[in-house]
Structure 1
Amino acid sequence: MVDFWWDRWLFDEPLAMYLGMEQLTHFLVAEFYEGDAWNEDKLLRWVPNHVVRAIEEVYFHSSVKDEFVWLSSNSGSFTITSIWECIRHRRNVSVVDSLLWSSTLPLKLSFLAWRAIRNYLLVDANLQRRGVCLPSKCYCCCNAEETVLHLFLSGPVIVEVWSHFANKFGVSMDGCGSLSSVFLTWLHSTPLASKNHIRVFFPIVICWCLWLERNDTQFRGVPCESGRVIRQVDQFMELLGTLRMLKAQHFKGDRDYVLFQFATMLAKKVQHVAIAWGKPPLGHVKLNSDASVCQERASGGSLERGVQPSQVEVDSRVLVSLLLSREVAKWPLCTVLKKIRRLLMYFSTSVVHIFREANSVADRLAVLYLRSDRIFETILDLPPAVTGAMVLDARSVPFVRTIVDNI
């Protein structure tokens, strides 16, 4: 029951909008299909010739049930996640927030830093704003009201802690008036720093140790000392190293820091494998296909060794996965996939993935960048580069592929 004019079944917009037509006779798509083919004469009475050519490329069968394709989902299927992404008002991504969450640090540290930045911690000043009547003082210095900013940034003991680690890394914290500015200052203190960098981890760990020191001072009566906080920070970072959580890539530009001795070097296993195109079994033929995109131009090439392929080889693992899955896929890719699947079924052909080195002939055809479609009927018509690759394939000459695996 697909409307010919107002449903999106051919182009990215309904045919009525595509052709700029308003007063139209209601038709279903099925009314233009008779037997096993499109009624070209009837189509030409209502749409231009180029639209008819596009319609004739659409696979249609009266016994196949129509499917809805959900445009907001990559799979083409309706999901709650996709509808939520459509209706939500997405805010700009906060750089500071993105720095707080790392698989290297325990989540409790990230949550504390996130709450501290938003002034959500239950320090005395925040409790007073919530209607709790109590006197407020900083238990670390006893000279100021306990606020998040004083507790994590401006208190005399806190300043000593920040200065100690800032001097080690050569970070200038002059002008830092908020916790957000502290995180950004440490991030931009070196051009090599990123989300998973030691200079991003340290401010989070320092905030955590300052919070522990504040709780020990307030609830256990332990005198607040900057030296103890510094030792706690160093011990925590050493513990991460002992647990093999610190990696060498976390220390880009800071490999002279003492903690680098605990960093785990990323081990890699390098293999050199001989890859060659394999001849099909006797009585079978192969179709090798490849595509290329360069300088905003897309082109493709394929080589059929035989008359009717019994196996198709491509070097795109993603394409093979899509074809073998039952996913509808996003519009208009779903139409292309449906057509390819129909051809594979019609020829009783399988599609498999091969490495690029074993697909060299199709690869060389794809990068020819011809101005129009061209069929090479004989080997003599092929360019020399393609012919040479075919000779190597025929003699089963292998190419070397380097495979790098992380251990």
Structure 2
Amino acid sequence: MASSKSFSIQCASTDRWSLSFRLLYLGRGLPSKVSIFMWRLLRRLLPFPDTLQRFGFSMPSVCPFCRRDSASLDHCLLSCASVQDVWIYFADIFALSRAVASSIRSQCHSWWLLAPARSATMFYAQLLPCLILWFLWKAYNVCLHEGTAFSPAGSIHMIKREAFLISLSHPIKKSGGNGDFLVSAGLVTGFAAPLQRTTIWVKWLHPPEGRLKLNTDAIFSDAGAAGGACVRGSRGQLIVGLCFRFEASSAMEAETLSLQLAVQWCAAFAMAPFAVEVDSLSLANLISAHDTRIPWRIEPAVSYVRSTLSLWGSSIRHIYREANHVADALATAGLGFNTSKIFILYTHCLLRLSWPYFLM
């Protein structure tokens, strides 16, 4: 808590109980209400009789669970014989000791330090003590204010149900075979499927013999907007490189204007490309799908490109940026010009671009 009375995660994480606050505020899956409750609990700010006594309030203090001992924070949420049934049930699932800890903080730490990092067991070993304390706190208030009897089995059921629902909203990956007992105990619905990684070889593909291919790209930044395009032959040789300067209000508009200007230049010099490639998937889909609604700012440009490509019998497709390096580099270089530029020789381009762009 800063002098300005503002609170942040950074303030909490620098507290002397750094392990507790790191788990409560940065842990994945813990509901916000439970996180705030645990902060108040570990700071002993919950309205139990022993806590209120520090502020000068004295009141009857009988545990609403066992109705024998005094109601204190540690007794009602940890050491009460009725409450111990709940702790022991979940401790047996995780093969933890049944011995009663000296305090709630020690009890939580014995759970939080139970399992190796980045495992399913660790995730639930950190989550469950928070849920247990949260539902015991709710049961304490129900018994205190409504006069009902405490049911350990009912609390266990609600804790398991909450853990099950969290497993649905935050699927976790199983590390080895150490998480199977969580499923059999009814705490987890299942585990997230392992991430499948696929390697894709990306390269610029040559057009058929005697045909041309047009690649375009654009850049949109605080420095302005610019476009780049290149026409290459069947052996990968550069026919022409183009740089455009224009005004645009979005990256999508910049990509569209760059494509329109490149197509207009090709039409003016009778260079009908066999194929057109862009690294904007949205633009490629917009040009290809004639039943798609076009944003009004780029409608004239999209309509022109559609009609021109249809007249040429050319196709447009999306490619990855790694296969569009030449157009991308020309667009970047275009930001350094005040007007549009045309490159018709490799040597002209090499003054602005590096060799590797032309070796792809």
State TM-score, norm by structure 2.
0.50
In 2, the alpha carbon distance for the partners of 1:151 and 1:349 equals 77
Residue 197 of structure 1, CA deviation: 0.3
Change (3 A) 1:285 1:174: farther
In 2, the alpha carbon distance for the partners of 1:186 and 1:261 equals 18
Aligned partner letter, 1:265: A
In 1, the alpha carbon distance for the partners of 2:195 and 2:13 equals 39
Counterparts of 1:224-373 in structure 2, within 5 Å, are: 224-241=150-167, 244-249=168-173, 253-257=178-182, 258=184, 259=186, 262-266=189-193, 268=195, 270-277=197-204, 280-281=230-231, 282-284=239-241, 345=336
Q: Which of 41, 65, 80 matches 1:116? A: 41
| Larger helix share, 1 or 2 | 2
Change (3 A) 1:249 1:264: closer
Residue 94 of structure 1, CA deviation: 0.7
* Paired position in structure 1 for 2:89: 164
Q: Which of 50, 57, 61 matches 1:136? A: 61
Q: Which of 71, 95, 107 matches 2:19? A: 95
* 1:248 counterpart SS class: coil
**What CA deviation, in whole Å up to 9, does each residue of 1:148-207 have, x standing for no partner?**
111221111122211111111012264732222222211222224569701111101101
Change (3 A) 1:190 1:267: closer
Aligned partner letter, 1:263: G
Change (3 A) 1:190 1:105: closer
Aligned partner letter, 1:284: G
In 1, the alpha carbon distance for the partners of 2:196 and 2:174 equals 21
* Paired position in structure 2 for 1:212: 138
Change (3 A) 1:138 1:175: closer
CA contact under 8 A between 1:173 and 1:182: conserved in structure 2?
no
* Paired position in structure 1 for 2:29: 104
CA contact under 8 A between 2:65 and 2:143: conserved in structure 1?
yes
* Paired position in structure 2 for 1:46: none
* 1:133 counterpart SS class: coil
Instruction: Return 176-185 or 207-216, whichever deviates more.
Output: 176-185
* 1:189 counterpart SS class: coil
Counterparts of 1:389-400 in structure 2, within 5 Å, are: 394=359
* 1:112 counterpart SS class: helix
* 2:57 counterpart SS class: coil
In 1, the alpha carbon distance for the partners of 2:194 and 2:14 equals 39
In 2, the alpha carbon distance for the partners of 1:190 and 1:273 equals 37
Residue 264 of structure 1, CA deviation: 4.5
* 1:235 counterpart SS class: helix
Residue 245 of structure 1, CA deviation: 1.9
The answer on 1:188 being equivalent to 2:179 is no
* 2:180 counterpart SS class: coil
In 2, the alpha carbon distance for the partners of 1:202 and 1:175 equals 17
**What CA deviation, in whole Å up to 9, does each residue of 1:86-136 have, x standing for no partner?**
xx9983571111212344232111221221111100112222322333211
* Paired position in structure 1 for 2:282: none
* 2:21 counterpart SS class: helix
Aligned partner letter, 2:135: C
Aligned partner letter, 1:200: Q
In 2, the alpha carbon distance for the partners of 1:274 and 1:215 equals 61
Residue 239 of structure 1, CA deviation: 3.2
Change (3 A) 1:349 1:250: farther
CA contact under 8 A between 2:160 and 2:187: conserved in structure 1?
no
Q: Which of 124, 129, 139 matches 1:198? A: 124
**What CA deviation, in whole Å up to 9, does each residue of 1:197-233 have, x standing for no partner?**
0111110110111112111211111112322222222
Identical aligned pairs, as a percentage? 20
CA contact under 8 A between 1:139 and 1:218: conserved in structure 2?
yes
Change (3 A) 1:210 1:266: same
Change (3 A) 1:152 1:251: farther
* Paired position in structure 2 for 1:149: 74
Q: Which has the bigger relative contact order, CA under 8 A and spacing at least 6?
A: 1
State TM-score, norm by structure 1.
0.45
Instruction: Return 205-214 or 256-265, whichever deviates more.
Output: 256-265
Unaligned runs of 5+ in 2: 1-6, 206-214, 216-229, 232-238, 244-320, 323-330, 342-354
CA contact under 8 A between 1:209 and 1:229: conserved in structure 2?
yes
CA contact under 8 A between 1:141 and 1:156: conserved in structure 2?
yes
Question: Across the two proteins, how many residue pairs are aligned to each other?
Answer: 220
Change (3 A) 1:165 1:251: farther
CA contact under 8 A between 1:209 and 1:233: conserved in structure 2?
yes
CA contact under 8 A between 1:173 and 1:185: conserved in structure 2?
no
CA contact under 8 A between 1:251 and 1:260: conserved in structure 2?
no
In 2, the alpha carbon distance for the partners of 1:261 and 1:232 equals 14
